[in-house]
Amino acid sequence: MIVVMSPSSTKEETKKVEHKLLALGFKTHPIYGEVKTVIGAIGDKRMLDTQLITTMNGVEKIVPIMKPYKLAGKELKKDKTIIEIGDVRIGGEEIVLMAGPCAVEDEEAFYETARKVKAAGAKILRGGAFKPRTSPYAFQGLEEEGLHMLDRARNETGLLIVTEVVDTRDVETVAKYSDIVQIGARNMQNFRLLKEAGAANKPVLLKRGLSATIEEWLMAAEYVISTGNPNIILCERGIRTFETATRNTIDISAIPVVKELSHLPIIADPSHATGTWKYVNALSKAAVAAGADGLLIEVHNEPEKALCDGPQSLKPKKFAELVEELKIVAAAVQRKI
């Protein structure tokens, strides 16, 4: 890292900072400019609480040179992570489709949707049993009963199951019934939940927080990996901006950026990002063209009866048409669905 001394700092202050850095195990290289002095400090900043330095007299700021994440980055692991669950490989040549309703509600309708997304080409079934809702008066999910319905849908269709966990106390149960444990956007920095989910030994689908930078997102992944669980699927689902025409602003550039910085697979969720089923088609194609390893799409047999996020759900027929179109786009970028 680089320690920048303020223009008004004294030589003695610079010396003290240097001594401190040496005492902390860094090698130091001071550079004396005309206006400012900077000290190059060689060593692993990640292990250092940097305020030990930034609070010293005369220090203007610290400029990190190394990335703060280690296991989620490419420095130690250059090859792409491919997550294999049964026959499904996430992060490989194939683009994996995950589809289903926002929340598991009516049993028959859910199975019906499951069968249809399977027929259309989805490999993984989504459906929320525990729902984080903005309003305490909104439907909060069927909880454990919902998990049982997910389980039966898996048995019936052969689809894998991804479902969200929102409480550390439910991790074990959710992990038992699901093939992939989802951490939602609002819980991306619920660090205890990240650790528990990591320890549950199922692949983790980690949604990007509404106002999380890509670096913070990778740090959240680092929390999971540091429990010993390297099987993380990152999911871009829109960030909060000033624009109100869509519910959130999907950051498609996050796809190539993450691919440059990390070995983890990354998928996109155009349904939550836009909040409107009308835009799901265009943005699904955009995500695939930009290099996404998968898509998470809301599909509901009767969106008008959905207790949660109906307006962003595709009907199974529209989803099936989209899949056909996506196959062509995938082929155009040397991938397959």
Closest approach of a copy of itself to the CB of residue 231, in Å: 17
Given a contact cutoff of 8 angstroms between Cβ atoms, the answer to whether 122 and 157 are in contact is no
Which span (65-73, 86-94, 173-181, 229-237) binds a copy of itself, by CB under 8 A? 65-73
Q: Which of residues 297-316 bind a copy of itself (CB under 8 A)?
A: 303-311, 313
Comparing CB distances to a copy of itself, the nearer of 286 and 320 is 286
| Tokens encoding 7 | 């223009």
**112-120, 145-153, 160-168, 172-180 -> range binding a copy of itself (CB under 8 A):** 160-168
Question: Does 139 participate in binding a copy of itself (rule CB under 8 A)?
Answer: yes
Selected binder of a copy of itself within 23, 79, 87, 244 (CB under 8 A): 244
C-alpha–C-alpha distance, residues 248 and 240, integer Å? 5
Cβ distance 323 to 337 under 8 Å?
yes
Which 250-289 residues touch a copy of itself, going by CB under 8 A?
Answer: 250-257, 260-261, 273-274, 278-279, 281-283, 285-289
Q: Which is nearer to a copy of itself, 118 or 208 (CB)?
A: 208
CA 234 vs CA 83, 136, 204, 214, 267: distances in Å: 12, 28, 8, 10, 6
For residue 300, what are its two tokens? 């509901």
* Nearest one of 283, 265, 274 to 313, comparing CA atoms: 274
- Sole window of 47-55, 85-93, 107-115, 153-161 interacting with a copy of itself (rule: CB under 8 A): 47-55
Among 164, 179, 222, 293, binds a copy of itself (CB under 8 A): 222
Residue 55, interface with a copy of itself (CB under 8 A)? yes
Size of interface with a copy of itself, in residues (CB under 8 A): 105
Contact 146, 71 (CB under 8 A): no
Q: In what order do the strands lie in the sheet with 37-42?
A: 27-32, 37-42, 2-5, 59-63
Stretch that binds a copy of itself, among 82-90, 92-100, 151-159, 234-242 (CB under 8 A): 234-242
Report if residue 46 touches a copy of itself, rule: CB under 8 A.
yes
Q: Convert 125-140 into a string of H (helix), E (strand) and C (coil).
A: EECECCCCCCCCCCCC
Whether 288 contacts 255, CB under 8 Å:
no
Q: Which residue do the tokens 């202050």 mark? A: 13
* Smallest separation (angstroms) from a copy of itself to the CB of 83: 21
Beta carbons of 320 and 116 less than 8 angstroms apart: yes
54 binds a copy of itself (CB under 8 A): yes
Q: Which residues contact 321 (CB under 8 A, 6 or more apart)?
A: none
Asked if 166 interacts with a copy of itself (CB under 8 A), we say yes
User: Between 176 and 278, whose beta carbon lies closer to a copy of itself?
Assistant: 278
